[in-house]
Structure 1
Amino acid sequence: MTTPRDTPASRRVRANGDGTVYQRKDSRWEAAGYVLAPGNTRKRVRVYGTTRKEALAKLTEKIATSNRGVPVPSAQGSLAAYLTYWLQNVAVHHLRENTHTRYATCIRLHLIPGLGAKKLARLTARDVRTFLDHLRITCQCCTQERDIDRRSCCTIGQCCDKRLSPLTVTYVHSVLKSALEHAVREDDLPRNIARNVKTPSPRPRRFQPFTASEARQFLQAASGDRLHALYELALRTGLRKGELLGLHWEDLDLDAGTANIHRSLQRTRTGGLTTLHTKTRASERRIALPTECVHSLKNHRERQQEERRAVGARWSDSGLVFTTPTGGPLDPANLTRRFGRLLRRAGLRRIRFHDLRHSTATLLLEQGIDLVVIKELLGHAHIGVTAGVYAHVRLRLQRQAIDTLGDALGTGDDDPDDPPAAVVVR
């Protein structure tokens, strides 16, 4: 008579509903069990692992998800059904709300109309490549029937040929890769076929930051503005718009001249103006404030106290540094409009508010500041991001260095500053 201890691990009896685990002939471990499927049905799923513990953990996770009432997507279903499931049950827990909204728009406008009818299990790299190629050359007014109500452009036979930018096509591809990657992790697909499709790298978005003279002109024009401290802080430190608007007085130490950046003010579809965490974990940082910013912030605090006394009980105590005249948070869109009006008054060319951040980095690079210091100031996750975004500046600095070397090498043969021929430069 055998006891449970004598029974091999691969043949031990598990309780009803826990599934089965056994070792295959190829030495891998396979676990199988029944889970909830779309349509309130039950489906037998199989997962694999290099060890019994790994396979069992995967199956246990699927059964636990099923017990919470979340159906497991079927690889036999359409890509449209899977993308809908992924958005509602997976991506919603891992993405910021605005990012999730952009993903949903991308799936609704492009992925479902173009690939949604395909079976998830039968989707091929050729399907994805054909879809992306078609997306690049298709007029979006015609595809999405945008002009039906206005009876213009495409509806009257005069196609405007409004195509997606290469950057948007790359974004659509990245959303599809993210969705299929989850299907691979859940063993619904053997591999992520979207990763096998290579798309040309889009050209980096061009930006025209302020020159040093334009930056001085901008600060001079902003000196009399109610939000002068905000504009100065943006140009001298490179903070993002959301980081500036989400700054609280408790985040500042004006005596020590430092600021803790760990919040961002964003407008979301469901919550309106909402304070969120910064863009990435690397964006949470402590920066040194320039002396000019400390002075302007102190003046701004005094002005805010005067506004608070003026409105009395109508003041909304949000604790924010930059507020409306009644203490409420500033809307990012309103700040953009104020910034545009300021540029027009100053007689400066039109740039985006985010280009103030690019101006900060560009001017620092041109002053010879190390790339690592700029990366920490801007809050980039990796130094490669900083180096990639400002490659054009580094190229210009290389040109200046080469020209300087050319001036040195172009001196006469009898120059007394020439080093001896025997000197080895290392």
Structure 2
Amino acid sequence: MTAPKRKKARANGEGTIYQRKDGRWEAAGYVLAADGSHKRVRVYGTTRKDAANKLAAKIADSNRGLPVATADSTVGDYLTYWLGSVAIHRLRENTHTRYATCIRLHLIPGLGTKKVTRLTARDVRTLLDRLRTTCQCCAQGLDTERKACCAIGECCQKRLSPLTVTYVHSVLKSALEHAVREDELPRNIARNVKTTAPRPRRFQPLTATEARQFLDTARSDRLHALYELALRTGLRKGELLGLHWEDLDLDGGIASIRRSLQRTRTGGLTHLPTKTRASERRIALPTECIHSLKEHKERQDKERETAGAAWRDSGLVFTTPAGGPFDPTNLTRRFRSVLARTGLRRIRFHDLRHSTATLLLEQGVDLIVIKELLGHAHIGVTAGVYAHVRLRLQRQAIDTLGDALGPTDVDPDAPPAAAVVR
């Protein structure tokens, strides 16, 4: 009788794989942890091959010197690993910087020493409640450094806004969601904690009269074409500053939005992809914008001649007088000076975009058209942001219907007129 063929033993360093009583396969091996030591990590799969591939991927990362989150990692170690090895490849640089700040200031001080596998919904809820009620000057030790606030017995009560607390919660959910996808955690504890949705940030769009007043004042400004394009098309600041002349078809009246100019911590002024895939779009240019862009092109050609050898040929539509990219912060300063000359109330540059959408809605333009123009990923975003405008339009519609259904001078005994209902 032939003896059953034994399975080939796994080589040293490949870890172990076995089937659990619940039918799932579990693979375990030693990898480099966030604290520099080697610890045992466990992964799970529906098949032996699935579990083996997951373990092999983690061992490969460990062999390249990348730390891997383990079952007994602390929240602080796991967040550090996730930020440096996972999120950095998925987030835009400025978003990654905000995540890092949130983790450093709030999540690690509040939950950093707890084990990831022992984290509870109560732990998360307690942290969020503490962030809502605790003075951040005192919590971060800023009062001691400045010798103010609680350090002198006069607490300033500088608490986090509801929007920031919600942001902290969302960062933690994102990090733990990765652990769930990688079968390192059975469920995302942070999702079990429900937070009150903060009130949307109020914005102050320009009225039609204010918008005309703003454009009249900006007509003498060097960047008049930019302001007109912002107000008539709703382009974002980065999209405006990232426009190249090759993106514009002035004869056909079309602009292709392909990139955004942003200032990042490591790269300075950098061309990045648009905010979302839906933001990469083609839009129709208003006649007024075509005229102002042609005038702007003539002015830029004169500036090129004046600058001579010092001209930086960046191909950008809106540049400095020497041809270089225009810093977003400098645009904000310039915009505020135009507002001051106009005598209008102080608003954000982004409120020009809100003004575009609000004015279009008030003119009866369909929501889907506005969504495509603004480059929103989903129409729900457009509908949510401008809900207050739609409510005002509903009131006008109801009042119009009320006028139609109100008393009239028509003879009540006259036969009803035939009407076609569509």
1:414 is aligned, of 410, 413, 416, to 410
Closer, same or farther in 2 for the Cα pair 1:156/1:417, shift >3 Å?
farther
Amino acid at match of 1:258: I
**Under a length normalisation based on structure 1, what TM-score does the superposition of the two structures give?**
0.93
Contact 2:76 2:112 in 1 (8 A): yes
Determine the structure 2 residue equivalent to 1:240: 236
Alignment TM-score, normalising by the size of structure 2: 0.94
Per-residue deviation, 1:74: 2.5
Distance in 1 of aligned mates of 2:303 and 2:214: 25
Structure 2 unmatched runs, 5+: none
Match of 1:362 among 345, 348, 358: 358
Deviation for aligned residue 1:79? 1.3
Which residues of 2 match residues 32-71 of structure 1 at below 5 A? Answer: 32-71=28-67
Unaligned segments of structure 1, at least 5 residues: none
Match of 1:177 in 2: 173
Which amino acid letter does the alignment assign opposite residue 321 of structure 2?
P
Matches within 5 A, 1:78-117: 78-117=74-113
Contact 2:34 2:81 in 1 (8 A): no
Equivalent of 1:309 in 305, 320, 339: 305
Q: Does 1:279 align with 2:275?
A: yes
**Does structure 1 retain, via aligned residues, the 8 Å contact 2:35–2:77?**
no
**Code of the aligned partner of 1:109:** L
Aligned to 1:338: 334
% identical aligned pairs: 79
2:134 alignment partner in structure 1: 138
Q: Which residue among 387, 398, 403 is the counterpart of 1:402?
A: 398
Indicate whether 1:221 and 2:190 are aligned: no
Count of residues paired in the alignment: 422
CA spacing shift, 1:148–1:47, aligned 2, 3 Å: closer
Q: Which amino acid in structure 1 is aligned with residue 264 of structure 2?
A: T
Distance 2:115 2:414 in 1: 74
Which residue of 2 is the match for residue 268 of structure 1?
264
Q: Deviations over 1:159-189 (max 9, x none)?
A: 1111111000000000111111122223332
**Residue number in structure 2 paired with 1:18:** 14
Q: Structure 2: which amino acid aligns with 1:284?
A: E
Query: Hey, which bits of structure 1, 4+ residues long, moved more than 6 A?
Result: 416-419, 421-424
- 408-417 or 195-204, which deviates more: 408-417
- 2:40 match: secondary structure: strand
Bigger Cα displacement from structure 2, 145-154 vs 333-342: 145-154
Instruction: Tell me what 2:207 maps to.
Output: 211
Q: Secondary structure at the match of 1:114?
A: helix
Question: How many Å apart are 1:423 and its aligned residue?
Answer: 7.5
Structure 1 position 251 matched with structure 2 position 247: yes
Task: Give how far 1:158 is off.
Answer: 1.4
- The answer to whether 1:392 aligns with 2:392 is no
CA distance in 2, matches of 1:111, 1:358: 33
* Cross-structure match for 1:295: 291
Does the C-alpha gap of structure 1 residues 421 and 223 become closer, same or farther in structure 2, counting only changes over 3 Å? Answer: closer
| 3-state SS of 2:199 partner | coil
The CA deviation at 1:58 is 1.8
Q: How far does residue 228 in structure 1 lie from its aligned partner after superposition? A: 0.2
**Structure 1 residue 95: deviation in Å?**
1.0
CA RMSD, Structure 1 to Structure 2 (Å): 2.3
Opposite residue 268 of structure 1, the aligned amino acid is: T
Distance 1:118 1:30, change over 3 A: closer
